[in-house]
Chain A
Amino acid sequence: MKKNLRRWLVAFAILMMAIVTSSCSLPGLGSAQGSNGSIRIASLNTTESQVLSNIVSELISHETNYNTAIVNNLGSAPLMHQALIRGDADIQAASYSGTELTTTLDLPPTKNAQKATDIVRKAVRDRYDQTDFPSYGFTNTFAFMVTQKTAKKYDLNDVSDLRKVANKFTIGVDSNWMNRKGDGYKDFTRYYNMDFAKAYPMQIGLVYSALASDKMDVVLGYSTDGRVDSYHLKQLKDNKHFFPPYQASMIVNNSLLREHPDLKPLLHRLDGKINVHTMRKLNYQVDDQLLEPQVVAKKFLEENNYFRGDK
C-alpha cells in the first residue's frame, strides 16, 4: 500500500511539471502569451484604440515574422500602462498625450499640445524606459459641434461665437463630463463665460444623432467619431484652448525595441499617416458598418500598401 502511494505521488509530480512547463505556450494559443517571441499590444475597450491596435498588430505580423497578439478590453489608460510596466504587453497602440499626462504620469495638465507631447515623451523615457512615438497625426479631443445649417444661420466658427446664442441653445453632453472636475461643464461655463439654456447629460454615443435630428442645438462629442463626417457636422474651434490636447501616439517598451531592432523603422511608418478624417472613417466603419476592428485595420493597410513607401 505504501509503495502504491509513492507511485501515485511520483505520477502527480510528473503531471504537475508537465502542466507548469506546457502552460507557457499552448499550441494554438502560443501567440497569446509572450516571452516566446510574440509581441503583445495592449488595447482599450474603445473602437479607436482597437482599430489602432489592430493596425499595429497587422503591420508587424504582415511585414515581419513575429507573432502578435492583442491584449484587448482594458478599462483605462493607467491599466494599459500597468500592463506595459509588468510586461504583460509590449506596445500601447493608443495613448493620448493629455490623458497620459494627468493620469499615468500624474503631472499637471498643460494646454500646449507640443509641450504636452514633449513632457510625456521625456517622462516615459526616463521613468519607465519606454518610447513615445511621434503622433499618428490626429488628436481625439472633446469638441463642440453644430449642424452646418445652424453654423451658417448664426455664423459660428469658434466656441466663443456660441456666447451670443448660448442663452437660447440647448446642449447635449456626455454624462461623465457634466460633473467632471477640472475640465467639466462648470469649468467650461466659467472659462468661456457663457451659460446654455439647458444642458442635457446623455450617453456619448447618442449626442451625434440628437444633433442631426435637431433635438439639440449644439453638442459636445469626440472629434474623431465617425458620425461627425457622416452627419456633416460642423466642429467649432476651441479658440481659447479649454480642452487639453490629446495627441494620439503609441508607446513602446524599449526592451522590445532593443530585442528586435527592425521594429523601430517599421513602427515609424505610421508616423503622421492617419489624419482626423481617416480616423473618423475607420471608426465609422466599425461603429456603424458592423465591421470588426481587425477587418477594418487589414483593409486600411492593404489600401496603403502597408506604408512601404514604394507605390
Chain B
Amino acid sequence: MSHLNTFQQLLYYYDHNGMYVLQQFLRHFLISIYGVLFAAIIGIPIGIFIARNHKLGNFVISIANVIQTIPSLALLSIIMIVMGLGVNTVIMTVFLYSLLPIIKNTYTGMRNVNANIIDSGRGMGMTNWQILYMVRLPLSLSIIMAGIRNALVLAIGITAIGAFVGAGGLGDIIIRGTNATNGGALILAGALPTALMSIITDLLLNLIEKWLQPTGMKKEA
C-alpha cells in the first residue's frame, strides 16, 4: 500500500472496511449518548434542586468540579478497577464527566431567571411545581441545552479513549493506527468520523433546542 498517498489509502480503507467503520461509529455514538443521557437524568434534577439552596449548590458543584479535574485516562483506570473491562466502564466515565456541565448549567439557568417573572407567576396563584415547569424550565432551557451540548462533545472525545479498556468504538481504529508502522491513514480513518460525529450531534442538539423553545420566546423573524 506504500505506493498510495495518505489520502488514497484513506479512501481505500473506507472502501474495504466500510461496514466495520459504520458499526464502530454507531457503537461510539451509543456509548457517548448513554453516558450523557444518564448524566442528564441525574444532573438536571440535581441542578434544579440545588438552585433553591445556595450553600448546597456550592458544595455539589465543587464535587463535580473535582471529578472534572481528574484526567480522563486516570478516571477510566480507576473505574476499571471497580467495574472491570468493557463498555459499562466507559459509560460510567462519560457519565461522571458530563455531570459538571449539566449540573452547573442547570443551576446557573435556574438562578438567572428574573425574580420578577417568578413573582408574577406566584401572584397568578401558580404552585411551586407550575412555576418550575411553566416558568423556570422554559426560561432556562437554552442554558441547560448548552450544558448538554458541551457534555456530549466532551463525551465523544472520552469514548475514543475508552478503546483502551476494550469498549470498542472508533478509538479502536485510532489505536491500531498508532501501533502500525505506517498508520497515518488509519489514524485519520478513525479521527475524522469522530470529529464529524461531534459536529453533527452539536448541530442536531441545536435544532432540538430551537424546537423546544417556547413560542413566546422565539424571536420574530
Contacts and interface: CB of A to CB of B under 8 A. Distances in A.
Contact of B163 (A15, A23, A42, A73): A73
A50 B86 CA distance: 16
A309 interface: no
A15 B20 contact: no
Interface stretch (A103-111, A138-146, A177-185, A286-294): A286-294
Interface string B39-79: 00110010001000000000000000000000000000000
A295 B13 CA distance: 11
Contact of B86 (A8, A71, A203): A71
Interface residues of A toward B: which range? 35 or more
B12 interface: yes
B1 A29 contact: no
Interface string A1-38: 00010001001100110110001001011001110000
Contacts of B49: 8
A23 B12 contact: no
Q: Does more than half of chain B's interface fall in helix, strand or loop, or is it mixed?
A: helix
B16 interface: yes
B95 to A, nearest CB: 9
Interface in B66-119: 84-88, 91
A292 B185 contact: no
B17 A33 contact: no
Nearest to B186: A290
A32 B38 contact: no
Contacts of A23: 38, 88, 91
A28 B128 CA distance: 39
B180 interface: yes
A190 interface: no
A79 to B, nearest CB: 9
A83 to B, nearest CB: 6
B85 A15 contact: no
B86 A72 contact: no
B30 interface: yes
A290 B12 contact: yes
Interface stretch (B133-141, B150-158, B167-175): B167-175
A76 interface: no
23 contacts: A8-B49, A11-B45, A15-B41, A26-B34, A28-B26, A43-B166, A47-B179, A72-B172, A73-B164, A73-B172, A73-B175, A83-B84, A83-B85, A205-B180, A206-B181, A290-B16, A290-B185, A291-B16, A292-B20, A292-B173, A294-B20, A295-B16, A295-B19
Given A40-B86, A88-B84, 10 more contacts: A15-B41, A19-B38, A28-B27, A33-B87, A73-B164, A74-B85, A88-B85, A205-B180, A291-B16, A291-B17
